[in-house]
Amino acid sequence: MNLKFLFSLIILSIFLFSCGTTVKFEQTCVTCIKSQRFSCQDGNCPTSFMIGDQCLVTVIETGENIFLNPILEKEQITPKSGIKVAIAKIQGKFYLTANDFKKLWILYPKVPDKAKICDIDLPQKDIKIFEPVFSLNSTDPMNYKLRLTASNYSDKTFELQDDDKWLLVNQAKVGE
């Protein structure tokens, strides 16, 4: 019994420490917290911009500002204007990635003006992200799963399961 409790405590602490970082997050659309939004659907991704030494991206449809510096630091990318960022907002969480990112970033908004961030490796090491990136698997809002199609794997679609693992759900067959 004690071993099981200790093991559970270790797993819980690993999860909490992996998602311990926060970013500044200005949420302006309080009434649309549970809404579904997909930037890049029409090939027009929001791009980062600089205010002083801070790199930000704005969710165009709803006006939220996401401060990217902690994410860019972990991705080992210098903050700059012009980074195209693919963003999906699903059931109150934000998912974002960009070309040259190695991870998908999940933001859990908190009050006031902060979001806890977690990350998951992209499904393949050499994946390249261009728009459009995200789609959903279902029309049932209680069963949405985020899907990712990358430009150099346009024949493959990956689905995010429980925010912690990828599943290859579609692969075009030769000659299709």
Q: How far apart are CA 75 and CA 101, in angstroms?
A: 6
pLDDT of residue 156: 77
Q: 129: closest CA among 84, 74, 160?
A: 84
Q: Given this model, what pLDDT does residue 145 score?
A: 77
Residue 61: C-alpha distances to residues 3, 39, 115 (Å): 49, 8, 19
Q: Which pLDDT score is estimated for 146?
A: 81
Average pLDDT over residues 81-102: 85
What are 132's two structure tokens? 């459009």
Q: How confident is the model at residue 152 (pLDDT cuts 50, 70, 90)?
A: low
**What pLDDT is recorded for position 149?**
74
- What's the predicted TM-score (pTM) here? 0.75
pLDDT digits (tens, 9 = 90+) for 24-65: 666 655 445 455 666 565 567 788 899 999 999 988 777 788
Burial label for 85, CB within 10 Å (0-12, 13-18, 19+), is: buried
Contact 29, 64 (CB under 8 A): yes
The per-residue pLDDT for range 104-145, each reduced to its tens digit, is: 999 988 877 888 899 999 887 776 665 546 777 766 666 677
